[in-house]
Amino acid sequence: MAWITKDSANARIDRRDEPYLSDAFKRSFDEKYAHRYPNRQALSLPILHAIQHEHNYLPYQALEEAAEFLGIGVSDLLDTATFYEEYFLEPKGKYTVWVCQSVSCEIMGEGDVTKAISDKLGIEPGETTADGKFTLMKVECIGACGGAPCALINEDLAEDLTPENVLKRLDVLD
């Protein structure tokens, strides 16, 4: 999986006065999840999902607050956060397009679909448009191979894509 080397010595951490994790957030999170697991480290994935859901990515300060809230080390939570492809440590676009590049999709024309998106948005896979609207990701099989080539646009599945119909789907997003 991802091996992220970060420039710890020079990295500047953006901080703000207002906490990312409000008391209300913590209360409702604990109500929903705490009873499910025998320890609090197991809440790591749920809390990372919850933070990203609210803030679009995982701000470092939010990770610090979450680690304190769970009673685990910040490095432990960061260790988990950097391992998984879905967690973003940098802001991503309002819409993330996850194009599947695995075998069935490649056979059915993923290459042309990705190229069409890439040309249209002026970004390479892994990048975000300057206006912060779109992030393009190439990912492995998303479990919708019957509709290959396919992609997820945020949480919505787009199947049987062509270079033309995929652009139409992006055009209608605001």
Partner 1 sequence: MPLENPVIFKNVPTPPWGGFADRKYVDYDAYVKAGGYEALQKGIDDGGEAVLAEVKAAELRGRGGAGFPAGMKWGFLPPADGEPRYLAINADESEPATFKDQILIQYDPHTVIEGIVLCMLACNLDTAYFYIRGEYHHHRDAFEKAIQEAYDNKVLGENARTGKINDRWPRLFLHRGAGAYICGEETGLLESLEGKRGWPRIKPPFPAVAGAFARPTIINNVETLANVPYIVAHGADAWKQNGKGRPDGVPPQVPASFGTKLFGISGPVNRPGVYEENLGISLKSLIEDYGMGLRDGEQPKAYFHGGISMGVVSQEEVEQGVQMDFDIGKKWANLGLGTACVTVIPQRTSMVSMARNCARFYSHESCGQCTPCREGTTWTAKLLSRIEAGDGTTKDLDLLLELASSMGSMPGSTICGLADGNNWAIRTIVNKFFHEFEEKVSKSSSVSLAVLG
- For residue 168, the partner it binds in partner 1, ligand FES, none, with Cβ less than 5 to 8 A by kind, is none
Contacting positions for ligand FES (CB under 6 A) = 100, 102-105, 141-145, 148, 150
- Nearest to ligand FES of 119, 159 (CB atom): 159
157 binds, among partner 1, ligand FES, none (CB under 5 to 8 A by kind): partner 1
**Residue 52 Cβ vs partner 1, minimum distance, rounded to whole Å:** 9
Look up residue 58 and give its amino acid.
Answer: L
97, interface contact from ligand FES, partner 1, none, CB < 5-8 Å by kind: none
Output 43 or 166, the one with its CB closest to partner 1.
43
Q: Are 75 and 81 in contact (CB under 8 A)?
A: no
Beta bridge partners of 139: 100
Long-range residue pairs from 89-94, CB within 8 A, at least 24 positions apart, any chain: 89/4, 89/57, 89/58, 89/60, 90/57, 91/56, 91/57, 91/128, 91/132, 92/56, 92/57, 92/128, 92/135, 93/128, 93/129, 93/132, 93/133, 93/134, 93/135, 94/56, 94/132, 94/133, 94/134
Contact partner, 31, from partner 1, ligand FES, none, Cβ < 5-8 Å per class: none
Of 153, 161, 16, the C-alpha closest to 97 is 153
Residue with Cβ nearer ligand FES (44 or 101): 101
Residues engaged in binding partner 1 (CB under 8 A): 1, 3, 36-39, 41-46, 48-49, 72, 76, 79-80, 83-87, 98, 101-104, 106-108, 139-148, 152, 155-157
